[in-house]
């Protein structure tokens, strides 16, 4: 891995904790030469995820009902169909496989891959370019700063900040 090269940090908001969860928001940050150089944010229409066969979990719906109004409203603004969201993310990600970081070995990237599979689309990354930020943070005893939790872009920015701190050390 080229530490000074490109890295993408992705964060999702979902309606399930399963690997095939319904995605309602995708936030991502591009790091290049140890600086944030671009961001991506899109809300996804959960009905189109359900139509694609992705999972909705009643406990997660209940959990969202307990979150702040701001957090709930953030992913409900201007949602687009899943196909459009994945197409736009793929275009933003680019054709070259670069390291993609999720916050959890079994969450963000795994769920994105399930969405790609549901749409019969190839992933834009290679399996060896997937990394888990939570794991490296636990090894190094790092913590995320307080952010606007449960807003995919805000969370991705907070995670990218910690990744940059680690990569620069």
Q: What is the pLDDT of residue 107?
A: 96
CA distances from 21 to 142, 160, 165, 168 (A): 27, 23, 30, 33
Displacement of CA 127 from its chain's centroid (Å): 16
Q: What is the pLDDT of residue 144?
A: 84
In this prediction the pTM is 0.95
Map tokens 């701001």 to a residue: 70
Distance CA 143, CA 162 (A): 8
Displacement of CA 149 from its chain's centroid (Å): 13
% of the chain exceeding 90 in pLDDT? 87
Average pLDDT of the chain? 94
Distance CA 147, CA 154 (A): 7
Distance CA 96, CA 80 (A): 25
What's the rounded mean pLDDT across residues 16-42? 97
């Amino acid at each position: 891995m080229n530490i000074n090269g490109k890295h993408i940090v992705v964060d999702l908001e979902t309606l399930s904790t399963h690997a095939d969860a319904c995605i309602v928001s995708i936030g991502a940050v591009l790091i290049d030469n140890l600086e944030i150089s671009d961001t991506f944010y899109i809300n996804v229409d959960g009905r189109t995820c359900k139509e694609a066969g992705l999972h909705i979990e009643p406990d997660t719906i209940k959990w969202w009902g307990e979150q702040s109004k701001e957090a709930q409203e953030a992913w409900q603004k201007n949602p687009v169909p899943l196909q459009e969201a994945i197409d736009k993310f793929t275009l933003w990600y680019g054709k070259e496989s670069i390291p993609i970081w999720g916050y959890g070995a079994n969450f963000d990237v795994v769920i994105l891959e399930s969405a790609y599979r549901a749409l019969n689309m190839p992933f834009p990354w290679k399996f060896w370019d997937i990394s888990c930020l939570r794991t490296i943070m636990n090894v190094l005893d790092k913590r995320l700063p307080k952010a606007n939790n449960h807003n995919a872009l805000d969370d991705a920015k907070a995670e990218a900040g910690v990744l940059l701190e680690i990569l620069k050390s």
